[in-house]
Amino acid sequence: MKAYDFLFSPVTNFVKISDYTIKLLKKCCGGYRALDLLLHFPISIINRTSDIDNFSDKDKLTLVVRVVRHAAPMSRSLPYKIIVTTEKQELQVVYFNYNIAYLRKTFPIDGVLCVSGNARKTLGGVQIVHPDIVTQPSYAKYHLGLEAVYPLTTGLSQKTLSYIIGATLKSMPEIPEHIPADLLNKYGLMKFKEAIWSIHHPQNAADVATMTEARKRIAIDELLANQIRLRQIRRTMEEHKSGIIRENGRITGRLQLPFQLTPDQIQCLEDIKADLASEKPMNRLVQGDVGSGKTIVAFISMLIVIENGFQAVLLAPTEILAMQHYSSLKNLSENLGINIDVMLGSNRRRRSQQIDSLKNNVIQLLIGTHAILEDNIEFANLGLVVIDEQHRFGVHQRATLIRKCQNNGIISAPEMQSSSCSNVLAMSATPIPRTLLLGCYGDLDVSTIKTKPVGRKPIETIVMNATKINELVARLKEFRSQIYWVCPVIEESETLIDVTTRCDYFNNIFSADEVRVLHGKMKPQEKDSIITDFKSGKFKVLVCTTVIEVGVDIPNANIMVIEHAERFGLAQLHQLRGRVGRGTDASYCVLLYHYPVSKVGLQRLQLMRETNDGFLLSEEDLKLRGAGDILGKEQSGFKSLRFSEFTDNYALIEIAEKIVDVLNLESESTAVLCDMFSRIENDTSVFG
């Protein structure tokens, strides 16, 4: 058997297990291949000691004993005790849930056994409670010393899983290295097999709780696999030539903006124009702080594509944001003579008409949500896909969008007959730290907008204890401005204030028509109606969840109150704060905290008060919480990072970057490396 074949072979090749155990392994370890077991790491250790005089509560006492007698209780509610003795002293083996016939058979009088389990010292002497090992005395030596403890699933015992992993380790051959020996030496990395063996044989508690040298090696492998996948996505895109698209002014020349573009916006547009004018497909990320003006940059980019005869798509993560874009871009394009439409999952009445219009190139700019990704949506001449709040779609969904753009981009311009168009512009209002850009967005070119439009005043952030809520609301009544009041949950909670409870509170202070509720469980039409009424000034206080985190642009709403602010991450607090400060008046964000507050929670609130710089906040959020929490593990793909969370691992990212530069991306070992980690996620769709 080849060494690589061993990794992907079922453990049934070298250990006999039942079909039921196989099902449990799939649930617990993600599969029943050797690789699945080898990468199922211990989470703690047990010290099995035979020192009956000096054991701790955390130790498992392992002894060879002789059975003296059984002390059956008078009632089933009392424990069953088996009196045993060592060469030194007498002790008790205690069971609370028991089968008497089984215990009498397992512990025959005068029988000599090895028992191991949780021990405690009582007035009546030493007791071993529910021993987890009862075996022949000849096996005593195998149950002494440090033992790895693995995460389990219901029905799978520690004993069974440890046995299967042990058998897998013993069967493991030498694994060819995919990292050259000189780089292993340069960066002080262990060999793969050595690292795996060390992880499963911890020598102390730190070996399972910290980034040891062994775990560092596996983390590097995972980051390498991630980098290789990203580079393959990029290479796949670059294999497709893109038609040359240049601004000709036919449409953009008629665009009249009510404001001046900032220097950063202008530079960003220059980057995009250069991409479109090259033969390589554009694959660019525009990142900018909340309110920095990314949307107008994307709009002008789409107009350039449209005036060259192509279609453009703007994909948004929520229907509220999609409708916000549709409304604002429709107003900006009134005199441009282009056809803009919006496609939502909740509105299918016009779907067949929209599909025909897209195929016939009638719709030139389509704005929508995930509905655009459905298989039956085809374009006549797709030239550009813009993905707003792109981190909510993730690396894999981005790859799907890229493939859709490539497959549906049927070039009709005569001078581009043999070309394929796959220009993608991603936007993020969550500034992404450099480490994450390297580690998770290596397939993208990046443009950054830091300056904000002229006239925007900084938002004053106030941190306040929730006990002062009555004083706060009394002050807010005096303001003419409209107010966002954000609650963390929709429904009643024992520990958190929900939107209904807070709305009831406000109804006793404001008039009934001054307060409305908005949350994610409402029907899209109802949400749109509330946002429209709020924008037109029909009521004063919008009590809502984080459904307004992105896309809501209401210049007259200049006060944001975030309840239980200690429960939110910096990135989300900053996003919510960005809903105000859209007009020219002074704006305020009040962070209401409830006790108890963690040390990290207080740090976040202090940082929010000190700075409005989203880039600085994103770096601090990365340090405090980790990549998955910043961008959302379920959406961003960070849930796949099992061994290399980016927090405090800047150095590992840089090492992985340097190693991947010298690897042969076409070699068998590199392919196996990707397979090892991508298959764990049960996701091979990245490569299309």
The helix (run of H) or strand (run of E) holding residue 428 is strand 423-428
Give the ranges where 257-312 is alpha helix by DSSP (H): 263-277, 294-306
pLDDT of 426: 87
DSSP 8-state code for residue 318: S
pLDDT of 436: 67
Look at 289 and 198; give whichever has higher pLDDT. 198
267, pLDDT greater than 80:
yes
CA–CA dist 324, 154 (Å, integer)? 47
Residue with the two structure tokens 């995009």: 272
* Residue percentage of the chain with pLDDT more than 70: 87
Q: Report the chain's mean pLDDT, rounded to a whole number.
A: 85
pLDDT of 646: 54
173, pLDDT greater than 90:
yes
Q: How many residues are given for the chain?
A: 688
* Residue percentage of the chain with pLDDT more than 90: 47
Q: Which among 186-200, 483-497, 525-539 has the top mean pLDDT?
A: 186-200
Judge whether 543 and 516 are in contact, CB under 8 Å.
Answer: yes
Q: Which among 3-12, 77-86, 232-241 has the top mean pLDDT?
A: 77-86
- Over residues 483-494, mean pLDDT: 87
Residue with the two structure tokens 């409870």: 501
Domain 44-149 classified CATH 2.40.50.140? yes
- Over residues 495-516, mean pLDDT: 89
Judge whether 34 and 11 are in contact, CB under 8 Å.
Answer: yes
- Over residues 549-559, mean pLDDT: 80
pLDDT of 592: 95
SS (H, E, C) 17-32: CCHHHHHHHHHHHCCC
Q: Which among 67-76, 201-210, 289-298 has the top mean pLDDT?
A: 67-76
CA–CA dist 179, 320 (Å, integer)? 48
Task: Give the three-state DSSP class for 636.
Answer: helix
| Banded model confidence at residue 80, pLDDT cuts 50, 70, 90 | very high
Looking at the DSSP bridge assignments, the partners of residue 462 are 590
CA–CA dist 446, 467 (Å, integer)? 44
CA–CA distance from 2 to each of 5, 38, 176, 221, 669 (Å)?
Answer: 5, 17, 10, 20, 12
Tokens of 442: 């290596």
CA–CA dist 58, 76 (Å, integer)? 29
For the ranges 123-137, 261-275, 446-460, 591-605, the lowest mean pLDDT is seen at 446-460
CA–CA dist 610, 592 (Å, integer)? 16
- Over residues 250-279, mean pLDDT: 93
Q: Which among 58-67, 313-322, 378-387 has the top mean pLDDT?
A: 58-67
For the ranges 270-274, 547-551, 661-665, the lowest mean pLDDT is seen at 547-551
pLDDT of 682: 36
pLDDT of 226: 81
CA–CA dist 645, 653 (Å, integer)? 10
Fold annotation for 459-611: Rossmann fold (3.40.50)
Q: Is the peptide bond before 596 cis (omega within 30 degrees of 0)?
A: yes
Q: Which among 180-184, 267-271, 488-492 has the top mean pLDDT?
A: 267-271
Furthest-apart CA atoms within the chain: distance in Å: 100
CA–CA dist 23, 168 (Å, integer)? 17
CA–CA dist 14, 686 (Å, integer)? 32
The helix (run of H) or strand (run of E) holding residue 79 is none
| Banded model confidence at residue 684, pLDDT cuts 50, 70, 90 | very low
Please state the separation of Cα 266 from the chain's center in Å.
32
Torsions phi, psi of 302, nearest 5?
-65, -35
For the ranges 366-380, 392-406, 648-662, the lowest mean pLDDT is seen at 392-406
329, pLDDT greater than 90:
yes
Vertex 247, ends 389 and 270: CA angle to 5°? Answer: 55
Look at 482 and 140; give whichever has higher pLDDT. 482
Write the pLDDT tens digit of every residue in 191-247. 999 999 999 999 988 898 888 999 999 999 988 888 888 777 777 766 777 778 999
pLDDT of 638: 44
Judge whether 375 and 400 are in contact, CB under 8 Å.
Answer: no
521, pLDDT greater than 70:
yes
Judge whether 423 and 281 are in contact, CB under 8 Å.
Answer: yes
| Banded model confidence at residue 654, pLDDT cuts 50, 70, 90 | confident
Quick check: do 44-149 and 459-611 share a fold?
Answer: no
The residue type found at 295 is: T
Q: Where are the domains of the chain?
A: 44-149, 178-233+649-688, 241-449, 459-611
- Over residues 358-377, mean pLDDT: 88
The residue type found at 391 is: H
Collect all residues with Cβ–Cβ distance below 8 Å to 308 and sequence separation of at least 6.
Answer: 245, 246, 248, 383, 413
Torsions phi, psi of 650, nearest 5?
-55, -45
Q: Which among 159-173, 601-615, 622-636 has the top mean pLDDT?
A: 159-173
| Banded model confidence at residue 641, pLDDT cuts 50, 70, 90 | low
Q: What is the helix, strand, coil percentage profile of the chain, to 5?
A: 45, 20, 40
Write the pLDDT tens digit of every residue in 409-445. 433 333 333 334 568 898 887 777 766 666 666 667 8
Kind of pairing between the strands at 80-85 and 145-149: unpaired
Cα dihedral 539, 542, 548, 552 in deg (nearest 10): 20
Vertex 71, ends 67 and 75: CA angle to 5°? Answer: 150
Collect all residues with Cβ–Cβ distance below 8 Å to 142 and sequence separation of at least 6.
Answer: none
CA–CA dist 317, 426 (Å, integer)? 12
Judge whether 443 and 283 are in contact, CB under 8 Å.
Answer: yes
Judge whether 233 and 402 are in contact, CB under 8 Å.
Answer: yes
pLDDT of 411: 34
CA–CA dist 363, 350 (Å, integer)? 13
- CA-nearest of 564, 572, 507 to 539 is 507
Collect all residues with Cβ–Cβ distance below 8 Å to 522 and sequence separation of at least 6.
Answer: 530
CA–CA dist 602, 430 (Å, integer)? 21
Q: Name the CATH superfamily for 241-449.
A: P-loop containing nucleotide triphosphate hydrolases (3.40.50.300)
Give the ranges where 97-212 is alpha helix by DSSP (H): 100-106, 158-171, 181-186, 192-199, 206-209
CA–CA dist 69, 390 (Å, integer)? 70
pLDDT of 610: 93
pLDDT of 213: 93
